[in-house]
Each structure stands twice: as C-alpha cells, then as structure tokens.
Amino acid sequence: MSLAVGVFGVTGVGKSTLLDHHVQAFPSDRHIGGSSVIKALIAPASVGEFDSWPEAEQARIRRQAIANLRVERDRTGGNLLVAGHFSLRNRSSGILEPVLTDEDHGFFDALVLLDGEAERVLAQTSGDRRPRHGQGLDAVREHLAFERALAATTAGHMGVPMLAITAPSIPERLQELEGFLRDIRGDVSG
C-alpha cells in the first residue's frame, strides 16, 4: 500500500527541492504539489480568484482535489509525497489561516514539517515574481512560528506520525526524510 505523506512548510523553505532530490533517489515515490491539483481543477481561474469563491464551492473543489490525490496514490508504487502548507496568509486580510480540511486530515498517513531560518526563506522568495503579502523578515518569522505550532497540533489531532526537519542542507534533510519514510513504512507493514 502506498502512503500519502504531506510535506508542509512555508513558501520558500525548500519543499519541492527536497522532494525532487528524494524522488531521483527513490523513483517509485512520487512528488506532487498540492496547489497544482487545485489549479488543475479551477483552471482557467487563478488561485486568487478561488480565494474569493463562496465557501461551499471552495469546499467542493478541495474535496475533488483529495479524490484526485487518492487516485494518484493508488497509481503510485511507493509513497505519494504531497508538498503543501499547514497555513497560508489570507490574500485579502493578511491573516495567517490553517488550510487543511477534514478531507485532508483523513487522507494523509504521515506529516512532515520542513522548517528553516527566516532569513533563508526570505532570500529564496525575494526573487519570486509573484507579489507576496507581508513578506518582510518579521512576517516570515511569524509564519514559521505559526506553521510549527499548527503542525504539532494537526499531527496530534490526526493521530499520525510527524517529522520536523530543521537541518539546513539538502543531504541532511534527505537523510531525515528517508529515515522517517522507512520508519513509517515499517510501522504500517509490521
């Protein structure tokens, strides 16, 4: 059975980089961006437009996204690693808000929080063409702290294993991720 593992963290912390390196070494595992699933469902609308849709319509799209991820997990020979966020800053208000739904909670078998230093995250996102609300150093620090607290609460609520990766280098991060995946795979099959 393939496991669904949510690999979450703030924008610019290095989730996609880490997962791209991981699937090069473990080609049976698959990396997919959670936002890409939503974007495919709402195209040609933008995520900015989606944020202003009625809550019921947003919920319908999110349920369909999880249904699509279930299909992808079933097609994957190894683990399905979904990059995403525990929280995002509301584009209108600037307030940090949790993003995982009950459907998300029922889908993921394990969670990973990729953590980092605010200075490195800000440096990574500073060249991004997309405008970001509240992207100063203090706002990034606030978001990192919010994400850490929400990660622990969410994993406890879901009753799933969670790994917090704080290592700065790709090789160290890979080692932690791969050890965690081995451990949870053993827990499920053993």
Output the domain CATH number for residue 75.
3.40.50.300
What pLDDT, on the 0 to 100 scale, is given for residue 190? 44
The CB density around residue 3, as the number of other CB atoms within 10 Å, is 19
Average pLDDT on 140-167 reads: 96
Average pLDDT on 136-153 reads: 94
Backbone angles phi, psi at 21, to 5 degrees: -65, -40
Domains contained in the chain, number: 1
pLDDT at 90 over 90: no
In a domain, 165, yes or no: yes
pLDDT at 140 over 50: yes
**Helices of type H across the chain:** 15-25, 34-42, 47-51, 55-75, 102-107, 118-125, 137-158, 170-189
What pLDDT, on the 0 to 100 scale, is given for residue 188? 54
Dihedral sign for Cα 40, 20, 48, 106, please: positive
Average pLDDT on 13-22 reads: 95
In a domain, 189, yes or no: no
Q: Which residues pair with 33 in a beta bridge?
A: 83
Peptide bond between residue 171 and the one before it cis (omega within 30 degrees of 0): no
In a domain, 147, yes or no: yes
8 A C-beta contact, residue 69 and residue 80:
yes
Average pLDDT on 8-20 reads: 94
Q: Dig out the tokens for 40 from the structure.
A: 């495919």
Single pTM value for the model? 0.91
In a domain, 8, yes or no: yes
In a domain, 190, yes or no: no
The CB density around residue 185, as the number of other CB atoms within 10 Å, is 16
Q: CA–CA separation, 40 vs 27, rounded Å?
A: 24
pLDDT at 86 over 80: yes
**For residue 133, which of 119, 144, 143, 123 has the smallest C-alpha distance?**
143
Dihedral sign for Cα 2, 76, 79, 10, please: negative
Higher pLDDT, 95 or 175: 175
What letter represents residue 9's amino acid? G
pLDDT at 131 over 60: no
The CB density around residue 68, as the number of other CB atoms within 10 Å, is 15
Show the domain range for 180.
4-184
In a domain, 75, yes or no: yes
First-to-last alpha carbon distance for the chain, in angstroms, is 13
What letter represents residue 11's amino acid? T
